[in-house]
Chains A and B, each alone.
Chain A
Amino acid sequence: MKKSVFFGALAATTLVAGMASAATIDDVKARGELLCGSSTGLTGFGAPDASGNWTGFDVDLCRAVAAAVLGDATKVKFVPLTGETRFTALQSGEVDLLARNSTWTMSRDSELALDFVAVNYYDGQGFMVKKDLGVSSAKELDGATVCIQTGTTTELNLADFFKQNNITYQPVNVADDNEAQSQYVAGACDAYTTDASGLAASRATLPDAENHIILPEIISKEPLGPVVRHGDNNWGDIVRWTYYALLIAEEKGITQANVEEVLASTTDEEVKRLLGASGDMGVKIGLDNAAFKNAILAVGNYGEIFARNIGEGTSINLARGLNALWTQGGLQYAPPFR
């Protein structure tokens, strides 16, 4: 016990010492490479493909930041991190940025000395059941067996939900997503619960997808977003505004393909500022004025990133839902770019 207090104190001291001297932007520029903490493999959000190139929704955000900071979207090193190692790796400076579908919670924001700079995907926990179970609402799941990953917030949400609705369930504990899916397919449980985006990805790969439905109830809030170390506010601003630039680009109809064209013809002052044609918005946060243009040029706007990796054109087939722009009834809202 004493030992752990000692190590904790030592770690905290080093952390504070590290923060005082840290300027992540300088580290990244000196290294010429962005270290981006990513998942060890999550369908649609981040994984290496057959030839070893990283692709995915979170991966594209890292590429956008690299394009903004270094002017080259390929100068990213993806560091795969597990659920256990992700925050420590960020705190100890092994990665500059964590973009690994991490839920923004109060304790992570405060206790862990991390800053969630934006929410790039609003997710929530849902249920998938077989159609022939004859259930159309999660509230009808009384007495059902539910496949659930142990040691996650998902598990706690599930317990809360059933308690609130005065119904019972039988948990079938599994270690990870793949085991959960194979247990569910084998019929070991009636319902399978995890984040709705994960459910959609699982359902897309089932041999008989049409026989499975995702129930309408979303029982938790899971705002997922990029994370940086607490205390380096300038770096946090860079990541946040790179993300907002992608949102504004979608709002203004700027795409990867037409960005140069828009730049040449636009009369919109905000677009000019965004693309670096007027003002010095980039320089204000220590970047190039063309930084945000580079980001859009590298990965496209938010809508394009969504559509390419997880949207309705792909087999994961996620609707925009909460992640639509505010102008279209969603929650994605960027403050004014001025």
Chain B
Amino acid sequence: MSDAFFRTEMTPPKAPPITERGVVKWLRENLFAGPYNTILTLVALYVLYLFLSSVIPWLLNGVWNANSLQECREIVTASAGEGATGACWAMIRERWNQFLFGLYPQDLYWRPAVALGLLLVAIAPVLFPKVPRQLFWLTLFYPAIAFFLLWGGSIWTPIVAMMGFGVMALAYRLLVPLSGVTVAAMLGVLAAVLWWLFIDAPLAEALSAALPVGLQSVGSDQFGGFLLALVIGVTAISFSLPLGILLALGRQSDLPVVKMLCVGFIEFIRGVPLITLIFTAALLLGYFLPRGTNFDTILRVIILVTFFAAAYLAEVIRGGLAALPRGQYEAADALGLDYWRAQRLIILPQALKISIPGIVSTFIGLFKDTTLVSFVALLDPLRGVTSVVRADLNWKGIYWEPYIFVGAIFFVICFGMSRYSMYLEKKLKTDHR
């Protein structure tokens, strides 16, 4: 027998030393890894402290019930002592409606609200595949419905205008077997344009005279706040995507005229700052149009913003088209598909999927750019409404509160768009990278 000792079971593992685990390890590795790192950490902490020590009391002392900035200050002084600062959210409580609706008549707020509600329903089938397909009909007619709700007036104006699209579809259907897709589409557009130029106005007038149904009309000058930002943003986003796709395809076209037109358009628009285009739309056009022409400023701005976004989108989508291997195009040709079928069934679904992040970035940028319209004195939420509120003697001198409020709403909307694009990318992911 030897008295040698054999351990029969494993010793339980010891916890790693305190410096190598948990919070301490994380702190040592990330915040105090060396002298420079430590100094930076301390400086950053100090700056953070300075920032939070002034912002947190300011937020905590916020006042919701007051009638003027003066009153807010008195309440803050009374509750938090002399020299304390506090946010004056009471301004938002009194003026939230102007931030959301601008100068839209107050008893008609339900109209933009319903229009927004319907917008959410109408875009659902576009955004999510599980939504019943029948809703597409609402999506199709939504522009007319929204126009009628927001601007009011005779119900026949939007209906007759929508009939123009009906004319376009009809002409296309009739002509496609005879002349092929491209020519039929062009003639369809021509028919619709003729409808809008010559038949639209008289017909709408006659119908309104015969059967006057409508809502109280509201002028564009009364639009403001997020209503204005959304009207410009949503319209420009929904029209710039198809326009951008067409431009991107046109730029790759073999027809020299189409190619030159598209390249010229894209390069011109991209070469000019948006603010210049907006100024042109709002001011310069006024010189050229005959005196008394009532060409709505908001409409002009929407058209220019749409062009601007379309030019950028065209380049983003062209990137997607360029990323497709040549074999995809050849495969489409080999299957005997014509140009439009090849684009619709093979090329675009792949190219657009690749371009999703770029497209959504452009949309987010576009939506935020709508605040630039304040330079032509439209009541955008950020600067337009804010300056209106500050012109009131009760709220003059208020500084951060309107910016924070407007910024928060913008963040929610833009963050929503960004999350949706991530969802879409994940859903459409078919490769195994």
Contacts and interface: CB of A to CB of B under 8 A. Distances in A.
Interface of A: 7, 10-11, 14-15, 18, 21-22, 27, 39-44, 46-52, 77-82, 84-85, 88-89, 91-94, 176, 178-179, 181-182, 185, 201-202, 204-207, 314-316
A10 B288 contact: yes
21 contacts: A10-B288, A11-B287, A14-B287, A39-B391, A41-B391, A46-B391, A51-B106, A52-B104, A52-B105, A52-B106, A82-B375, A84-B375, A85-B377, A176-B387, A178-B387, A178-B390, A178-B399, A182-B397, A204-B396, A205-B69, A205-B70
Interface centre among A48, A49, A181, A316 (most CB of B within 10 A): A48
Given A88-B286, A93-B286, A178-B387, A80 B379 contact: yes
Contact of A82 (B288, B376, B389, B392): B376
Interface centre among A84, A178, A315 (most CB of B within 10 A): A178
A172 to B, nearest CB: 16
B388 interface: yes
B422 to A, nearest CB: 36
B277 to A, nearest CB: 14
B292 interface: yes
Contacts of B219: 77
Contacts of B408: none
A85 B376 contact: yes
A47 B283 contact: no
Interface centre among A15, A89, A92, A182 (most CB of B within 10 A): A92
Contact of A41 (B376, B390, B397): B390
Dominant secondary structure of chain A at its interface with chain B: mixed
Interface string B67-105: 001100100000000000000000000110010000111
B292 to A, nearest CB: 6
9 tightest A-B CB contacts, nearest first: A92-B286, A41-B391, A47-B391, A41-B387, A205-B396, A52-B103, A205-B397, A41-B388, A93-B291
B287 A15 contact: yes
Given A42-B391, A52-B105, A77 B221 contact: yes
B396 A40 contact: no
Interface residues of B, number: 37
B393 interface: yes
A201 to B, nearest CB: 7
B384 interface: yes
A81 B379 CA distance: 10
Contacts of A205: 69-70, 393, 396-397
B359 interface: no
Interface centre among A43, A46, A80, A179 (most CB of B within 10 A): A80
A82 B69 CA distance: 25
A91 B384 CA distance: 23
B205 to A, nearest CB: 18
Given A14-B287, A52-B106, A47 B392 contact: yes
B260 interface: no
A299 B66 CA distance: 31
A192 to B, nearest CB: 12
B282 interface: yes
Contact of B73 (A10, A18, A40, A207): A207
Contact of A201 (B95, B106, B282, B393): B393
A22 B98 contact: no
A286 to B, nearest CB: 18
Contacts of B98: 48, 50, 52
B281 to A, nearest CB: 12
B393 A315 contact: yes
B127 interface: no
Nearest to B94: A50
A40 B384 contact: yes
A334 to B, nearest CB: 29
Given A41-B388, A93-B286, A176-B387, 13 more contacts: A11-B287, A40-B387, A42-B391, A43-B391, A43-B392, A50-B392, A78-B221, A84-B375, A92-B283, A93-B292, A201-B393, A205-B396, A205-B397
Contacts of A92: 283, 286-287
A263 to B, nearest CB: 35
B284 interface: yes
Contacts of B399: 178-179, 182
Interface in B346-385: 374-377, 379, 384
Contact of B291 (A11, A21, A44, A88): A21
B317 to A, nearest CB: 30
A79 B389 CA distance: 17
Nearest to A182: B399
A211 to B, nearest CB: 14
B288 A44 contact: no
A84 B387 CA distance: 16
Nearest to A84: B375
Contacts of A316: 393
Contacts of B389: 41
A21 B290 CA distance: 11
A78 B95 CA distance: 20
Given A44-B393, A178-B387, A205-B393, A7 B377 contact: no
Interface centre among A78, A84, A205 (most CB of B within 10 A): A205
Given A7-B284, A10-B288, A315-B393, A40 B69 contact: no
A84 B372 CA distance: 14
Contacts of A201: 393, 396
A207 B95 CA distance: 21
Contacts of B377: 40, 79-82, 85
Contacts of B288: 10, 14
A214 to B, nearest CB: 16
